[in-house]
Structure 1
Amino acid sequence: MTRFSPRTAPLRRAGGLAATALLLAAGPLTVAAAAPARAADPVYALGGPAETALHPYAEGGGEQKRSTAGITVTGTADERYEGEFTVTFDLTGIAGVADVAFDARAGVECAPTGPRATVCTGHGIAPGLSTVAELLLSAAEGSGQGASGAIRVTGEAGGAAFTPFTTQVTVGGPDLVMHRLPFDHEPTPGQKQQAPITFTNRGSRDADGVVLTLRYSRGLDIPQRYSNCAYTTDATWTTARCSVEGAFEAGATYTLAAPLTLQATARAYRDIFAYGIHEAGSVRRLAAATSAERGPGAVLRAVPVKQRMSARSVDLEPGDNEQEADFRTANTADFIAYGDEASGPAGATVTVRLGFRNDGPAWIGYLRSGETVAAVDFTVPQGATVTSAPKGCRGVSAEGAYREDRQAPAPRYVCPTPAAVRDGGGLDLAFGLRIDKVLTGAVGRVTVRGPGLQAPGLPFDPKPGNNTARVVLNGGSGAVPTPSPSPAPPTKGGPGAGAGTAPSATVTPGAGGTGAPRVAGNGGGALASTGSPAALTAMAIAALTAGLALFMAAGRRRS
C-alpha cells in the first residue's frame, strides 16, 4: 500500500512540473526512463535476544522461575504505520524444552491459534524501536540440562513487509553475580582505593570466558591499563571491556589476581563507577568490533582459573551481573561569567557573545538526576531588542517570570546548561541585538546562577563574586569601546567542551527585516552589506557583457 499525505501533494505536483520541463528541454526519452518508480513499501525488522537461558525445571511442584525475552519491531519509515499488523510465533521448536506465556504490550492482543503457535495483533507501528510482547519462558517438565530449541517470529501487514527473527532458548546456563565492593563514597581529590573485583557463578553450567566491564565518570580514574582490555573515552565516561579467558565453574567464586586502583582525580565531584561481569560471546565480539584502544600493560586475570573448558551458554539472571557505586567528593568549581561590548547606530543589528567558563578544578555532572547544572541569566540592555537567541534559551519577563508569548522578543533570557559541565568547558552564547535607540553606555547583566530563580546560588562555586558580567552597548562617545578583560569562552568541541546538549553558540542573528546595516560586537562579526542580491546580479551581468564586447572588438581589430 502506497501512502499519500495531503501535505505532500503540492510538493509532488511541483516535482512533476519540474520533471516535465526537464524532459522537454532534454529531448525525447523512452517511456521507461521517464516513468517514476513506485515507492517501496516500508520494511519492519523483528528482533529480540539472540538466546535466552532458562532455570532448570524445579522438581517437587515448586514455582518455576521465569526468564523474559522481549520481542521488538523496528520501524524504518519516517512516519507511523497506521494499519493493522500481526506477529506470529512458531513455538514448534521449543516443544518439550520450554513453556511460554505472553505479556502483550499496550494496544497488542495475543492469542493461541494452535498447540504450538500464537498470533499477536496490533494497530499502528511508530518509527523506531518498540516492544510487541514479552515472552515469559520457563523450563518444561522433563527438560534436561542443555536442552535447546528455537522460536521463529514472523510478521504481516497490508502495504508493509517484515524481516523474520529467530531466538534460541536453552535450559541451564551460568549465572554470574558481581559482588558489591565496600568503597569510601566520600573521598577527597587524589584519594586512591583498592577495588578487588569479585564475582560468583551461581548458575547450573560453567562459563567459557568472561568479559569484565568497567565504566567510570570523568572525575575518576583507574591508572592500570591492561593489554586484554579495550578502552574508549568520551566527554563524560571511560569504558574498559576486558576479555578474561578460562572456564569459570558453576558454584565457584573468582577475584582478580591483583586488585584495581580507583582514584578520585583533582576534578572529581559527583561521580559513578559501574562494574559488571558477563559470559563471553556477544559481549566479546562487540568489544573486538569496536575501534577501542588496547592498554599497554599486563594481562588482567581472575583467579582461580580452571583449565577445563565448557560449552558456552547464556546467563540465567542478567540483572545481577553489575554493581554501581556513587561518589561525592569534596571539591569546587569556579564558574566565571563573561559579557561583551558592541556599538552601532540606531537600527543596526549587532552580535554579542556571553556566557561562562568553568575554571575548575572540578567538573560538575548530575549524572543520576540529569538535572541542569546551572543557567545563564541575561538581561537585555535598554534601547535594544533581541532579534535572535540561541536554541534552548527561553524568554522571561523582566522579573524572571514565565511568559505566555514565546515568539515576541523578551527583556530577559534564561539559558540552561546540560547535566554536565566539564572543567575548562562552559556555555558560549551568541545573541543578535537590534539597537532601537542609541543610549550611551546601555548595560545588560549576565549572571551564571543555579537553575532555579528561587535558589540562584551555586553550591560548588567558592567565588560568587565573578558570577556576573556586563553587556555594554555604545559604551563610548561615538567610538567602539575597548572591552574589559573577560575570561575566554570555552573551546567548542575541545577538551573543555560541556557534555550533553547545550544552547547553540553559533546562531546567526537575523536582520530583523529592517534592511538596516549589521554592526558586529567584539564577540563576532559579519561582512559589510554591499547591496541587494538582485543588484549584485545585475552588476555582474553588465560587467560580463561589457567584457565580452571588448573581447570581440579586439578580435576584429586583430583580423
Structure 2
Amino acid sequence: MRKPSAGRVARLGACVTAAGLFTVGMAATPAAADSDQLWITAPYEVVLPKAADSGTQTPATTVALGLSHDNDTYRVTDGRLTVDVSGLAGLAEVTWPENCAPTGTTAVCSFPEVPLTGFAQVHLKVRAASGVDVGAGGQITYRATATTTGEGGVLTASENWSTVRVASGPDLILNQPTPVSGVTPGSTVPVPFSVVNNGNERADGVQVSFYVSRGLDVGAIAPQCTSTPLGEGTIKAITMVDCAFDDVVEPGGSFTLPSPLQAKVAPFAFAERIDMGVRPGGGVENLSPEGHGAIASISATNTADFAVRGARLTAAAGETVRADVTFRNRGPAWIANLGSGEPVGSVDVTVPRGATVTAVPDACEPRTADGGWWESEQRTGAPRYLCQLPIWVAEKQTVTFPFDLRVDTVVTGAKGAITLKPSYGSGFPHDPNAANNKAKLVLNPAV
C-alpha cells in the first residue's frame, strides 16, 4: 500500500467544491487503537530535465522523502530509510544529504524521531546524466524500519518507489511561504511569491492562479488578473484570481508579480490561506508534477463563540411537533476547515423520552442511545442523532436541524440533550465560552 505523496500540492482550481472547500490531499486510513503503521512518503514520479549538450546545466531536481506513523499512543524513533538508486544507473547523478549514509548505489537515511505527519525530512538532489535522451527512465525504491514503544518493538513499512524519467520543457517552481500566525485582524501582511524555471526550455508566458479564503483580500493584484467569487449562497468562501502574464522565463530564470502581493486581514479572519498555482503560458504543461503549487497560511488572533439552542415544546399523545435544534456562530470570526474538508463540528441530539423521531434532517445520522452505530435501515426512530455542521460557518451564521417528534407517551418534563462537539479532540480552541455548547430539548415541561 502506498501513502499519498505529501509533496503533491493539488491546484485548488481542480479541488474547489460547491461549498468552497480547498482539498489538498488524501489521508491514509488511520491505524486501529492498538496498532500502528510506518509509512514512507515519496513522490509517485520524478521528472528530470534533459541535460544540456553544453554550457550551464539546469538545477538538480529535489526528491523529498519522509517517514511517519499513525498512532499517537506510541513513540517511534530510530527510523532508517533505505534508498536504492541502482535503477538510475547511467540515467542520473544523485547527491545525498547529510542525514543519509551512502554505500554504492544505496544509502540509509536516519530519522531520530518519526513524526505523525509525513512531511519531508530527506531531500535528494537528482540530475539527468549528460547524453541521456528524452524518454529514458528508471526507478528509486525505498524500504524502512523504525523502533516503537508499541507491541513488537519494531515497525516495518511497505516498500515504496518513485518512477524517474527524463523529459524536456519548462518547469515553473513556486517558493513555499513560511506560515504566518498571530496576525491582528484589520492588518495587512505581505505574501511571498516567486517562481523559478527549473526546466531546460523557456516558458513563453506565465499563468498564475490564486484561491483566496474569505478572511483575506488581495485586491486586484495586477491588470492581467481577473477575480471570481466561488461558492453557493450570498456568502462566498473563496475568491479565485486568474492571471496571465506575457513574461518569458528562460531556464534558470525567475518571475515575480509586477508589485508585491499583500493580503488585508478581515475583522472576521481566523485560519486563512492563499493557495497558489503556476504554469507556463500557451497551454504548455510544467515538466514535472511537483512544486507548482504553494500555500500561504495566515492565522489571525481571533475567537468564535459557538453555541447551540434547544426548544421547549408541548404536545398531546399522538401529536407530532417540529423541534428545531439550532447552532449559531456568534463570532467575531468565521471558522473553516479549508484543508481537511471536515465539518467544523457536530451536534449530538438525544431524543426526549416518550417521543419518536418521524422526520430527520439530511445532515443527521441515527445512533444508538450510547452513541454507537444504528443498524436499522430506517433513519427515523433512533434514540439519538449526530448532525454534521458544514465545513465552514460565517460569523453570525445559524444552522438549524429540524426534527419531527411524535409524542407516543406524555412524560412531563422529558429532557433530551443537545451537545456541540468538535470533529476531533475535546474542545474548540477558538471558543471563549464553552458553557453555551450544551442545551436541552424539553417536551411537555412542568408548569
Aligned 8 A contact 1:334 1:461 in 2: yes
Give CA deviations for 1:64-123 in whole Å, capped at 9, x if unaligned: 59xxxxxxxxxxxxxxxxxxxxxxxxxxxxxx98547799xxxxxxxxxxxxxxxxxxxx
What SS does the corresponding residue of 2:290 show, helix, strand or coil? helix
Give CA deviations for 1:380-424 in whole Å, capped at 9, x if unaligned: 122211112222423334444455456472222221224332323
Instruction: Give the residue type in structure 1 aligned to 2:386.
Output: V
The verdict on how the C-alpha distance between 1:192 and 1:445 changes in structure 2, with shifts beyond 3 A counting, is same
The verdict on how the C-alpha distance between 1:196 and 1:403 changes in structure 2, with shifts beyond 3 A counting, is closer
Instruction: Give the residue type in structure 1 aligned to 2:359.
Output: S
Hey, what's the Cα distance between the residues in 1 that align with 2:432 and 2:163? 54
Hey, what's the Cα distance between the residues in 1 that align with 2:138 and 2:275? 33
The answer to whether the aligner puts 1:63 opposite 2:91 as a matched pair is yes
Instruction: Give the residue type in structure 2 aligned to 1:428.
Output: T
Hey, what's the Cα distance between the residues in 2 that align with 1:327 and 1:246? 29
Query: Alpha-carbon deviation of 1:327?
Result: 3.2
The verdict on how the C-alpha distance between 1:135 and 1:198 changes in structure 2, with shifts beyond 3 A counting, is closer
Give CA deviations for 1:24-71 in whole Å, capped at 9, x if unaligned: xxxxxxxxxxxxxxxxxxxxxxxxxxxxx9833677984159xxxxxx
Instruction: Give the residue type in structure 1 aligned to 2:238.
Output: W
Instruction: Give the residue type in structure 2 aligned to 1:439.
Output: V
Pairing partner for 1:194 from 187, 190, 197: 190
Give CA deviations for 1:232-287 in whole Å, capped at 9, x if unaligned: 222432221111123222222232232011233222222222223211123xxxxx
The verdict on how the C-alpha distance between 1:323 and 1:432 changes in structure 2, with shifts beyond 3 A counting, is same
* TM-score (norm. length: structure 2): 0.59
Hey, what's the Cα distance between the residues in 2 that align with 1:226 and 1:246? 14
Pairing partner for 2:205 from 209, 218, 223: 209
Query: Alpha-carbon deviation of 1:435?
Result: 0.6
Hey, what's the Cα distance between the residues in 2 that align with 1:57 and 1:248? 18
Moved more, 434-443 or 356-365: 434-443
Query: Alpha-carbon deviation of 1:318?
Result: 4.1
The answer to whether the aligner puts 1:474 opposite 2:438 as a matched pair is no
Instruction: Give the residue type in structure 2 aligned to 1:190.
Output: G
The verdict on how the C-alpha distance between 1:102 and 1:206 changes in structure 2, with shifts beyond 3 A counting, is closer
The verdict on how the C-alpha distance between 1:229 and 1:349 changes in structure 2, with shifts beyond 3 A counting, is same
What SS does the corresponding residue of 2:404 show, helix, strand or coil? strand
The answer to whether the aligner puts 1:272 opposite 2:273 as a matched pair is yes
Instruction: Give the residue type in structure 1 aligned to 2:196.
Output: T
The verdict on how the C-alpha distance between 1:254 and 1:57 changes in structure 2, with shifts beyond 3 A counting, is closer
Hey, what's the Cα distance between the residues in 1 that align with 2:286 and 2:400? 47
The answer to whether the aligner puts 1:259 opposite 2:256 as a matched pair is no
Give CA deviations for 1:124-167 in whole Å, capped at 9, x if unaligned: xxxxxxxxxx997545xxxxxxxxxxxxxxxxxxxxxxxxxxxx
The answer to whether the aligner puts 1:457 opposite 2:427 as a matched pair is yes
Hey, what's the Cα distance between the residues in 2 that align with 1:364 and 1:422? 7
Query: Alpha-carbon deviation of 1:440?
Result: 4.0
Corresponding pairs, count? 301
The answer to whether the aligner puts 1:410 opposite 2:382 as a matched pair is yes
Pairing partner for 1:230 from 226, 231, 234: 226
Q: Which residue of 2 aligns with 1:518?
A: none
Query: Alpha-carbon deviation of 1:429?
Result: 0.7
Give CA deviations for 1:168-216 in whole Å, capped at 9, x if unaligned: xxxx322212223345344232232223422122322221111121122
1:14-93 superposed matches below 5 A? 55-56=49-50, 62-63=90-91
Hey, what's the Cα distance between the residues in 2 that align with 1:252 and 1:101? 27
Hey, what's the Cα distance between the residues in 2 that align with 1:196 and 1:468? 43
Hey, what's the Cα distance between the residues in 2 that align with 1:231 and 1:224? 8
**Structure having the larger proportion of residues in strand:** 2
Query: Alpha-carbon deviation of 1:357?
Result: 1.2
Q: Percent identity?
A: 35
The verdict on how the C-alpha distance between 1:318 and 1:185 changes in structure 2, with shifts beyond 3 A counting, is farther
Query: Alpha-carbon deviation of 1:464?
Result: 1.9
The answer to whether the aligner puts 1:321 opposite 2:349 as a matched pair is no
The verdict on how the C-alpha distance between 1:345 and 1:184 changes in structure 2, with shifts beyond 3 A counting, is closer
Pairing partner for 1:333 from 278, 285, 304: 304
Hey, what's the Cα distance between the residues in 2 that align with 1:335 and 1:424? 10
Aligned 8 A contact 1:224 1:260 in 2: no
Aligned 8 A contact 1:394 1:406 in 2: no
Aligned 8 A contact 2:349 2:384 in 1: yes
Give CA deviations for 1:339-371 in whole Å, capped at 9, x if unaligned: 234333211122211120112111222233333
Q: Which residue of 2 aligns with 1:383?
A: 354
Aligned 8 A contact 1:183 1:193 in 2: no
RMSD: 3.3
The verdict on how the C-alpha distance between 1:472 and 1:364 changes in structure 2, with shifts beyond 3 A counting, is same
Unmatched 5+ stretches in structure 1: 1-52, 66-95, 104-133, 140-171, 283-312, 478-559
Hey, what's the Cα distance between the residues in 1 that align with 2:385 and 2:191? 46
The answer to whether the aligner puts 1:429 opposite 2:430 as a matched pair is no
Moved more, 402-411 or 320-329: 402-411
What SS does the corresponding residue of 1:327 show, helix, strand or coil? strand
The verdict on how the C-alpha distance between 1:175 and 1:464 changes in structure 2, with shifts beyond 3 A counting, is same
Larger-gyration structure (1/2): 1
Hey, what's the Cα distance between the residues in 1 that align with 2:438 and 2:377? 26
Hey, what's the Cα distance between the residues in 1 that align with 2:223 and 2:377? 55
Q: Which residue of 2 aligns with 1:184?
A: 180
Q: Which residue of 2 aligns with 1:159?
A: none
Q: Which residue of 2 aligns with 1:289?
A: none
Instruction: Give the residue type in structure 1 aligned to 2:332.
Output: P
The verdict on how the C-alpha distance between 1:185 and 1:281 changes in structure 2, with shifts beyond 3 A counting, is farther
Query: Alpha-carbon deviation of 1:431?
Result: 0.8
Instruction: Give the residue type in structure 2 aligned to 1:412.
Output: R
Q: Which residue of 2 aligns with 1:356?
A: 327
Aligned 8 A contact 2:177 2:191 in 1: yes
**Structure having the larger proportion of residues in helix:** 1
Hey, what's the Cα distance between the residues in 2 that align with 1:350 and 1:253? 66
